[in-house]
Amino acid sequence: MIAVLDPVQVAARPEPNPTEELQKTVSASRLNCWLQCRLKFFFRYVLQLPRPPSAAMFVGSIAHQVLQQWNHGRWRKEPFQTEKFKAWFDSQWTEEQKTSKIKWDDDQADERASAWKTLEHYFLETPIKADERPEAVEVPVEADLSHHGLPRLIGILDLVRAGGTIVDFKVTGKTPDPEQAIHQHEIQLSCYGVLYRDATSRKEAGLELHHLVRTKTPKLIVTRIGPITQQQETRLFKVMESYVDGVGRQDFVPSPSFGCAGCEYFTECRRWS
Amino acid sequence: MIVLETNYSKKLGLPGYSSHQFSITLKTEIADLAQVQTESNRLYQLLQQSVDASIKEVGFLPTEVPIQNRNGNGNGNGHHNGNDTWECSDKQKALILKIVEEHKLDKKEIEALAQDRFGKGVKALNKLEASQIIEILLQEHSDNNKGNGRRFGSRYQKAGAK
Ligand code: SF4
């Protein structure tokens, strides 16, 4: 099935991504988007329609940058100084805000204060010791899965702790339920396990989700799982197979659901036939 | 008096290119030759069950378990036969050498960086470690990437960067 768009929209968009290319390489984000809604995938990855930046994306990005600084600092054996990270956070926020076109629902100053408070709380509560040196920080990895008849898998690991525990940082407004979090992020975590094993020829020690929760009183929820299981790997590979098939068939149909409330392509979706 | 000597031995392959084996030898006496077949069958069952019960306990295993043969992953050079071989992929090796050449970097410094971060030389870095070294070199030496902005920008701006 081929998705059709309003001619005006079509004229304004960049060159579409050939589906053959999308079949050759996958990432956790692509797979998740595909599973969430194939029409959304079409807008985002085939037509490459620009994604209006959101306040949540902006905050998440700045928080990740600060965490990356902190991880690299431990690797360089630098002493921990909150003021240094605060100064870095402030300058990066100001700098990126100049070029962003975000419509802040609430007061931007409040968002900024709450983002920093959440990071400060993380530094206090994190299970990672100040002198624990990482094994990898924000590192891009890829795995050739052609021997499984599958596309190349790519991804970026936020942090690999000493001993091989893969950590993914999430900045969120809602307190996650650990069991649900593991289920919801299964594809991403399985991708990370496969990528780590391919890149190191070792099994990961485990995986951790560090949810930095931006509630009035910030929270840190750490969810741990063991190394990915054979069953999880099989599930991932089956999802990848289905992705390759579906993209090949150009099976880009909408999946209306509660998730549509936050979809950036709602207008385009309503025009689709 | 007839002495029947029986032995049962089993060797099992284990992760990490290791293996273990266990055997039990048992001597018993039988009164006449007519009992050999029956007794030997009984002892075989007994020894096999005993060996199997014990061999399930694998005991110590190497902590770093190789997941796959590196020759088989299609990316690595896969040779372990000398100092001139690299553990990372050919693409990564070429990129590291290119960055070093383009920025006229001191190979000793890169070597020191690899030693500091991973406790091994550049050629011994696996694909994850090589990717990290490339990231650090790119951040430090790319003109467009002053400071820390390279991946941050892409994470925020590009959908599906991860
Ligand atoms: S609005 Fe819903 S159905 Fe339409 S593209 Fe977005 S997620 Fe899919």
Render pLDDT for A200-227 as a digit per residue (tens, 0 to 9): 999 999 999 999 999 999 999 999 999 9
* pLDDT for the residue numbered A219: 96
- Residue B149 predicted with pLDDT over 70: no
Residues of B within 8 A of A156 (CB-CB) are 151, 155, 161-162
Residues of B within 8 A of A137 (CB-CB) are 132
- Best mutation target among B126, B127, B135 (most A Cβ atoms within 10 Å) is B127
Residue B16's Cβ-side half-sphere holds a number of Cα atoms within 13 Å equal to 12
User: What is the distance in A from the centroid of ligand 1 to the CA of A216?
Assistant: 31
Nearest to A153 by CA among A266, A241, A57: A241
User: What is the distance in A from the centroid of ligand 1 to the CA of A155?
Assistant: 25
- Residue A229 predicted with pLDDT over 90: yes
Residue A257 CA: which ligand 1 atom is closest? 2
Which of B23-37, B68-82, B100-114 shows the lowest per-residue confidence on average (mean pLDDT)? Answer: B68-82
Highest mean pLDDT: which of A47-56, A232-241, B19-28? A232-241
pLDDT confidence bin for B153, thresholds 50/70/90: very low
The predicted-structure confidence for B81-98, as pLDDT tens digits, reads as follows 456 789 999 999 999 999
More confident residue, A107 or B87: B87
pLDDT confidence bin for A1, thresholds 50/70/90: very low
Burial zone of A48 (CB within 10 Å; 0-12 exposed, 13-18 middle, 19+ buried): middle
DSSP string, A30-54: HHHHHHH-HHHHIIIIIS-------
Residue A172, both tokens: 């969120």
Contact B74 A147 (CB under 8 A): yes
Whether A183 has its CB under 8 Å from any CB of chain B: the answer is: no
Task: Specify the residue with its C-alpha closest to ligand 1, atom 2.
Answer: A260
Q: Return the bridge partners of B9, or none.
A: B23
Residue A223, both tokens: 């969810």
Q: What chain A residue is nearest to B119 in terms of C-alpha separation?
A: A135
- Residue A202: left if φ>0, alpha if ψ -120 to 50, beta else—which one? beta
The predicted-structure confidence for A150-168, as pLDDT tens digits, reads as follows 999 999 999 999 999 999 9
Q: What is the mean pLDDT of residues A113-133?
A: 96
Q: Based on DSSP, count helices (H) and strands (E) in chain B, helices before strands.
A: 5, 2
Nearest to A174 by CA among A110, A112, A208, A218: A218
Highest mean pLDDT: which of A165-169, B111-115, B150-154? A165-169
Which of A57-71, A133-147, A150-164, B48-62 shows the lowest per-residue confidence on average (mean pLDDT)? Answer: B48-62
DSSP letter at B123?
A: G
Nearest to A74 by CA among A143, A159, A142: A159
Strand pairing class (A152-161; A206-213): unpaired
DSSP letter at B24?
A: E
pLDDT confidence bin for B159, thresholds 50/70/90: very low
Q: What is the mean pLDDT of residues B99-113?
A: 91
Is-contact A173 A211, C-beta < 8 A?
no
C-alpha–C-alpha distance, residues A171 and A212, integer Å: 5
- Residue A246 predicted with pLDDT over 60: yes
- Count of A-B CB contacts under 8 Å: 91
This prediction has a pTM of 0.76
Strand pairing class (A206-213; A165-172): parallel
Which of A83-92, A122-131, B14-23 shows the lowest per-residue confidence on average (mean pLDDT)? Answer: B14-23
What DSSP element (H or E) covers A154?
strand A152-161
Q: What is the mean pLDDT of residues B19-26?
A: 81
Q: What is the CA radius of gyration of chain A?
A: 20
